[in-house]
Amino acid sequence: MNVPQSYRLVRRDARAERTVVRLRTGATFGGDEIAICAGPCGVESAEQLETAARAVAAAGANVLRGGAYKPRTSPYSFQGLGEEGLKLLRHAADRHHLAVVTEVMDPRDVEKVVRYADMLQIGARNMQNFPLLREAGATRTPVLLKRGLSATVQEWLLAAEYVLLGGNESVVLCERGVRSFDPATRNVLDISVVPLLEDMTHLPVIVDPSHAVGIARLVPPIAVASVAAGAHGLLIEVHPDPASALSDGAQSLDCAQFEALMRRLAPVAEVAGRRLPRRYRVVSTESASKPDSAVRSSSSGVRLA
Ligand code: PEP
Ligand code: MN
């Protein structure tokens, strides 16, 4: 594999070991355990987020996703709730023992977003926003770097290089499909980058099948294929009522569909030599009514499933 010298920090042989990115909650990307990031495209209300967070946690996800700052093609579309959305994310995630990954679009917002989030998402449209990459590189908050809409693997790795150069070594790459000539699906998932990047970089790679295909019915089979191909995690859009979603409803799974996907994934992860995140289960009725205290008291009420 011909890897240019300009990938000084991200290239596979820059490290003896592969990078394992660990979030504050214990969720990891790059180890034996797969990270499952799930939640709505956008944070819309406390009720919507609480329902989604409860459902994805119960199904075994370990990271709550949701946009508070939304990159929308039209300036007239829902733009996100801003800082109010960040507060709702933190609250819902803490209640359900999840980490938070959320998008930051503006370098001036990085300081604010890191106060609420465990992981900064840099979206496809901002993959080459170099001031944003540098600002994220100056933090010590892990970064989820999505592939640009039509970015080459080289451009993507060099974008990651900017973050590492700032001293932030916790970067996870996320394949989310690239533009093609064919509008049959929203994008085309380049699943080959999963094993390709394994040879090129020590950084973990996850797949976002939701934005890749744009059609909810296609998300589960493509999620399964991604894990089989060796992805270190998944990013899945889940909405309690996809038909009423303010963004990306067509590609969002409802809570029952997400639970069914998690069941389907478990044996595939095992065949790929990985496992799904461990999860806490509330076993006593008394603790079930108080999820916050239940999760923290390890002696009673909660079992590791
Ligand atoms: C998102 O995750 O909701 C999003 C906008 O993704 P992308 O940047 O991949 O389009
Ligand atoms: Mn989305």
Closest C-alpha among 191, 38, 179 to residue 100:
38
List of residues 6+ apart from 124 with CB closer than 8 A: 146, 147, 148, 149, 151, 176, 211
- Could you give all domains of the chain from N- to C-terminal order, each with its CATH number? 12-304 (3.20.20.70)
What's the gap in Å between 131 CA and the centre of ligand 1?
A: 19
Cα dihedral 203/127/245/38 (nearest 10): 10
Q: What is the pLDDT of residue 298?
A: 38
Ligand lying nearest the CA atom of residue 147: 1
Q: What is the pLDDT of residue 105?
A: 98
Would you write out the chain's pLDDT as a tens digit for each of its 305 residues?
Answer: 566 678 999 999 999 999 999 999 999 999 999 999 999 999 999 999 999 999 999 999 999 999 999 999 999 999 999 999 999 999 999 999 999 999 999 999 999 999 999 999 999 999 999 999 999 999 999 999 999 999 999 999 999 999 999 999 999 999 999 999 999 999 999 999 999 999 999 999 999 999 999 999 999 999 999 999 999 999 999 999 999 999 999 999 999 999 999 999 999 999 999 999 965 433 444 444 444 443 443 333 334 45
Q: What is the pLDDT of residue 98?
A: 98
CB-facing half-sphere around the CA of 84: CA atoms within 13 A: 7
Residues lining ligand 1, Cβ inside 6 A: 41, 67, 71, 123-125, 146, 176, 211
Ion ligand 2: residues, CB < 5 A: 41, 248
Q: Backbone dihedral region of 228: left (phi > 0), alpha (psi from -120 to 50 degrees) or beta? A: alpha
258 sits in which H/E element? helix 255-271
Structure tokens at 95: 């209640």
Atom of ligand 1 lying closest to residue 147 CA: 9
Q: What is the pLDDT of residue 6?
A: 86
Q: Which amino acid is at 108?
A: R
Q: What is the pLDDT of residue 2?
A: 62
Rounded to whole angstroms, how far apart are CA atoms 158 and 177? 18
Cβ distance 271 to 228 under 8 Å? Answer: yes
| pTM summary value | 0.91
Q: What is the pLDDT of residue 284?
A: 41
Q: Is 151 helix (H, G, I), strand (E, B) or coil?
A: coil
Atom of ligand 1 lying closest to residue 65 CA: 2
Q: What is the pLDDT of residue 288?
A: 41
Rounded to whole angstroms, how far apart are CA atoms 196 and 153? 9
Rounded to whole angstroms, how far apart are CA atoms 145 and 152? 14
Rounded to whole angstroms, how far apart are CA atoms 258 and 234? 12
Q: What is the pLDDT of residue 67?
A: 98
Atom of ligand 1 lying closest to residue 208 CA: 9
Query: Could you count the other beta carbons within 10 Å of the beta carbon of residue 48?
Result: 22
Q: Say how far residue 304 (Cα) sits from the centre of its chain.
A: 23
